Chain A
Amino acid sequence: DQQVKQNSPSLSVQEGRISILNCDYTNSMFDYFLWYKKYPAEGPTFLISISSIKDKNEDGRFTVFLNKSAKHLSLHIVPSQPGDSAVYFCAARDDKIIFGKGTRLHILP
C-alpha cells in the first residue's frame, strides 16, 4: 500500500505560469516532507522541505504547502521556467524515507 501518492504522472505548464504538483500521504507519523527534482540517470536534487509543524515554506520560486488535516502537500513553482522540466518526487519521513512515484513536469515554450 502506497504511503506517499503522487496521482498525476505528468503535468504540462506554459512557461511563465504557475506549476502545482500535488502529493498525498496516509501515515500520520510522518514528520518531515521533502520535494526532489530528478533528471534521467542522475540522483535526485533536493528542492525544498517542510516540517509537519508548519503549513508553508518558501524558497525563491518554490513554495511548499502542507495541509495536515487533509494529509496533502503541494509544490508551487512560479514562474515556471524551461529548466524546471524534470520528474518531481515527493518524499515523507518517519524512521525511513518514502518516495512517491513522481510527476513528470513539462514546461511548454
Chain B
Amino acid sequence: DGGITQSPKYLFRKEGQNVTLSCEQNLNHDAMYWYRQDPGQGLRLIYYSQIVNDFQKGDIAEGYSVSREKKESFPLTVTSAQKNPTAFYLCASIRGGRLSGNTIYFGEGSWLTVV
C-alpha cells in the first residue's frame, strides 16, 4: 500500500546533539512538508519542498535543516541550535502543483524528547 513512513516513532536526544527524522513516501508525490505540533499551537510549518533538490523555509525553520535528494525522501535534521525541540513532528506529502492534489497525506508522526 502507498503511504508515508516516518521513523523513528519515539526519539530521545541529549542537549547539544543533532538528530535526523526520516520521512519516506511511495506515493510519487512531488511536494513534501514538515510540521511540528505543540500543545495549543496546532501544526506549524518548518520546511517544505515542491520538487527534488529544492526546498523552502516555513514559519519556524530556525534550528532545523532538510534535504531533498530523492523524490521519495525528505529527512529533517533537528540541530542543537533549535531552542525547544521537544515536540511531535509530522511529515506530509501532496501530489503537487497548486491545482492538483486535494489532500495531504500524513505520516504517523515522530515524538522527539530532549533529555
Contact = CB atoms under 8 A, between A and B. Distances in A.
A41 B109 contact: yes
A34 B104 contact: yes
Interface residues of B, number: 26
A44 B111 contact: no
A32 B44 CA distance: 18
B42 A89 contact: yes
Contacts, number: 60
Main secondary structure of the interface of B (DSSP, over half): strand
A9 interface: yes
Main secondary structure of the interface of A (DSSP, over half): loop
B102 interface: yes
A52 to B, nearest CB: 11
Interface in B22-62: 33, 35, 40-45, 48, 50, 56, 58
8 contacts: A41-B88, A41-B111, A42-B108, A89-B43, A91-B43, A99-B43, A99-B45, A100-B42
Interface of A: 6, 9, 31-32, 34, 36, 41-44, 46, 49, 89, 91, 93-102
Interface of B: 33, 35, 40-45, 48, 50, 56, 58, 88, 90, 92, 94, 98-99, 102-104, 106-109, 111
